[in-house]
Amino acid sequence: MDWRERSQRLLGQEAIEKLNRSRILICGLGGVGSFAAEALARSGVGHLDLLDFDRVSLTNINRQLPATQGTIGRYKTDVLEKRFLQINPELEIVNLKTKLTPENMDELFCGRHFSFIVDAIDDLPAKAQLIKTAFEKHIPLISSMGAGYRLDPSRLRIDDIAKTHTCPLARKLRRLLKDERITTGVPVVWSDETAMEPKHGGEGPASMIFVPASAGLMMASYVVRQLYQRS
């Protein structure tokens, strides 16, 4: 029996074959991107490019899929590559231990043809440049907005970036994209929940698993639905 049998019953053989032929770039494998990547692997996507320069740290354990006590210090791309091949041994993975920047964007896309891009990075200049590049190359993309400082995943939604509010990251990104003459046409996962004030200071955004993981699953669902509708 094919491990994708239940997915095939839901979507049909043609859609499953389309997913198997698809190549998806996932930028950022943190609390959002790691769950998006896992969902896409389990959905039968045949080619995944995993991009993240970071290693697992102790403070990742509360919310990131690759993070356990046994993976601290290992590259997130390596941990997830091994995990995903245990899900689907025929999955083709490109392991990119790279920090995405506006300067190396052209190198990333040279010779690579993506069916979809999942943007789960936090760096604003790189995020804006990735969206611009996707626009220029006519590659469909979905981008994640802020998932930290929030607890309620039911407040997440998918909209055009022009409809976002409340989210500081979305506001800053809109300004950067406006400079590139992009004001609409960017689907994003975002939350209308007002960000909480952390109880005390520390390094990095305060967050738990609920909102980032849910945002990642929503992104993967969006990608699969878009690809399914085109099959």
Name the band, by pLDDT with cuts 50, 70 and 90, for residue 1. confident
Strand ranges of the sheet holding 116-119, from the earlier edge strand across to the other edge:
92-96, 47-51, 23-27, 116-119, 141-144, 187-191, 156-160
**Domains in the chain: boundaries:** 5-194+203-230
pLDDT tens-digit series, residues 35-88: 999 999 999 999 999 999 999 999 999 999 999 999 999 999 999 999 999 999
Long-range contacts of range 5-13, CB-CB < 8 Å, 24 or more positions apart? 7/43, 7/44, 11/228, 12/231
pLDDT at position 151, please?
97
pLDDT tens-digit series, residues 77-94: 999 999 999 999 999 999
pLDDT at position 231, please?
58
How many angstroms separate the CA atoms of 94 and 25, rounded? 9
CB 192 within 8 A of CB 155: yes
CB 227 within 8 A of CB 19: yes
Give me the CATH topology for the region 5-194+203-230.
Rossmann fold (3.40.50)
38 sits in which H/E element: helix 33-42
pLDDT tens-digit series, residues 102-137: 999 999 999 899 999 999 999 999 999 999 999 999
* Of the candidate ranges 18-32, 80-94, 194-208, the one whose mean pLDDT is the lowest: 194-208
* pTM reported for the whole predicted model: 0.96
Backbone angles phi, psi at 102, to 5 degrees: -60, -25
Please give the average per-residue pLDDT across 2-15, as a whole number.
96
